[in-house]
Chain A
């Protein structure tokens, strides 16, 4: 079924942040195939009246635990494999529960794409994936099955293993050594294909993927010293690094700039619940923007519920970020940083028809989400027909 949306203000979030007032958007075969004013569309196209509405690209959160963190039933949580501090073979796709309510929360908040996977208990936690929040089987929803090797520095591994289980790592140096160890062991085999690795060496494969540039290393780091350690490790092995959280990043902007890495910022809405968060501030996105460091904004769902992703971006505006950059940080920029901007992140011809329809600007208090579309199909509607 092809659809044309008529008369909405289209916040395209293209390179020029073009806004088309009272524009039309034509969707064919799940893709955006025309944008403009007063479009002529083929006979038989479904017309959706969207006059007075605002349409944005479907929102994208590239740091969540949607579908894998149990939330209300913590005893069956699948996000952290606590048995070992080094678990590179854990794959998000083996834990994602497609019927989990967090996917419904996502579409209720206009979020159409999430990156999700292991939590931050382990220095090396596992492989993350990027997927759509509705529509079809897991395989059909995946944008990138292996979108990064997730690891964690700082307080969480120390707390889980050292403090709770009384085993390694107790200290930050041990956390770093566990991460390094994976790369050091993998280096001699980096020219091999996966099937050439013996059974005993399968754990090295994710590191080989990172060494060969087929996916980034994604390190959870809050404190400035942990961010510096992440940069140091990435530099030692010449691998692509993405900083996750970077809570104290604004205190060491030059080092992040010099390393040329991207960051996902957040969650910055809640109180500092532990020591390494005590310098957390919603000013961080504005300061990163001033320095020209590319960033996405995250909810870290469930820590801030996924349906409030737009509220997190609005909070950054409250603390000095421009409204355009804030919207980009949960759409276009997020897609670019995650390597999915060929498919999603803006309202442009050829992109997937992932759309959020709002009653006004998403950062306005009284704005409500009317509908969310994924690949042109309605994934949520406030007034189901």
Chain B
């Protein structure tokens, strides 16, 4: 049983261009990319979407989706444990993901098919992260990688959280010391993700990377100077930037500006655009990219930062992140240029299954 999606605008990630193609799907995978007018096998359902834009499903490089449920407060907040974990059993975000969080549906309705889920920023030592697809009823079936990296958090939020809970200050020196203690005891995890905004915290992350030689991904990073970006590049680090589209509640957020995305790309660091949902809604992942384009980022890098580059950074580009024969069929169809502020998704496929279709009465 085959399905074919036919469009004059299928996105080619390598060429960063739209081309007339027919995408042949079988089961969970992209069987082949055929010429637009190719003859199709028997028993093939053809979905002709005319001039609509067909793109790989977006990947949210850093998110609390499912772990911090929307529309509810503490009852659905399971990504922010601020007590110490039992030494033998580090926290794993996979134990906190609720597949029926309404945000998963919102993600699909906005063409986002995969999230890298991490713990919240409240505690310095976070949890093992997981990479999940947005379709399924148990996290086990959703997980591409149930344990991928480990999330840590620096700066204003862990300081504030600690103060609220203990009425004692937590200093930046204390934060660095507790990270060293953790790495000394457990060894540095593979794939370290460090949340940091302010320059001082980015320096701390760089220092720790030098001391423990782990693979570093800096998350947020908006206060990074040109020197720090060069240093991150030399260390082979990645930068998961954003979200700029959020309220500025703290000192360290004064630097939020969509132009930062362009700076990261110019520095040559592998760059992903993230929502850190619900920091900004996963619905705004495209908006984040569009605002970056408004500030001068070219469209190719903007789209890559939502698809292929992110997949490469997360080690899942063998199966998703572009419309390529042999990869899983994670595909979103848009009724206009996906980087337009007013375009929206009409269909979303996750692993070949149609998981979202726009209501026809929704004009």
Contacts and interface: CB of A to CB of B under 8 A. Distances in A.
Given A71-B248, A72-B253, A366-B294, A319 B341 contact: no
Interface stretch (B69-77, B184-192, B261-269): B69-77
Given A278-B70, A364-B341, A367-B294, A72 B248 contact: yes
Interface string B148-186: 000000000000000000000000000000000000000
Interface in A288-320: 302-305, 308, 311, 314-315, 317-320
A385 B23 CA distance: 52
Contacts of B72: 274-275, 278
Contacts of A277: 71
A365 B248 contact: no
A74 B72 CA distance: 23
A283 interface: yes
Interface in A40-89: 71-74
Given A366-B293, A367-B294, A315 B280 contact: no
B341 A318 contact: yes
B341 A314 contact: yes
Interface in A269-289: 269-275, 277-279, 283, 286
A270 B344 contact: no
A304 B247 contact: yes
A303 B102 contact: no
B281 A270 contact: yes
Contacts of B73: 273-275
Q: Determine chain A's interface SS by DSSP, over half rule.
A: loop
A318 B344 contact: yes
A366 B289 CA distance: 11
A273 B72 CA distance: 7
**Max chain A CB contacts within 10 Å: which of B102, B293, B363?**
B363
Q: Determine chain B's interface SS by DSSP, over half rule.
A: loop
**Max chain A CB contacts within 10 Å: which of B102, B251, B341, B343?**
B341
**Max chain B CB contacts within 10 Å: which of A71, A314, A318, A365?**
A365
A368 interface: yes
Interface residues of B, number: 36
Contacts of A305: 245-248
Interface in B272-314: 277-278, 280-284, 287, 290-291, 293-294
Interface in A345-385: 363-368
Contacts of A302: 247-249
Contacts, number: 97
Nearest to A283: B362
B103 interface: yes
Contacts of A269: 245, 280-281, 283-284, 287
Contacts of A72: 248-251, 253-254
A74 B73 CA distance: 21
Contacts of A365: 290, 293-294, 337, 339-341
Contact of B344 (A271, A319, A364): A319
Contacts of B251: 72-73
A42 B278 CA distance: 55
A317 B335 CA distance: 13
B294 A368 contact: yes
A71 B253 CA distance: 10
A346 to B, nearest CB: 23
A169 B290 CA distance: 43
Given A283-B362, A320-B362, A320-B363, A315 B341 contact: yes
Nearest to A308: B245
Contacts of B103: 271
Contacts of B281: 269-271
A366 B227 CA distance: 29
Nearest to B73: A274
**Max chain A CB contacts within 10 Å: which of B278, B342, B344?**
B342
B70 A271 contact: yes
12 contacts: A269-B284, A272-B70, A278-B70, A278-B72, A278-B102, A283-B362, A303-B247, A304-B245, A305-B247, A318-B341, A365-B294, A365-B337
| 6 nearest A-B pairs in the assembled complex, by CB-CB distance | A278-B71, A271-B278, A314-B341, A272-B71, A271-B281, A320-B363
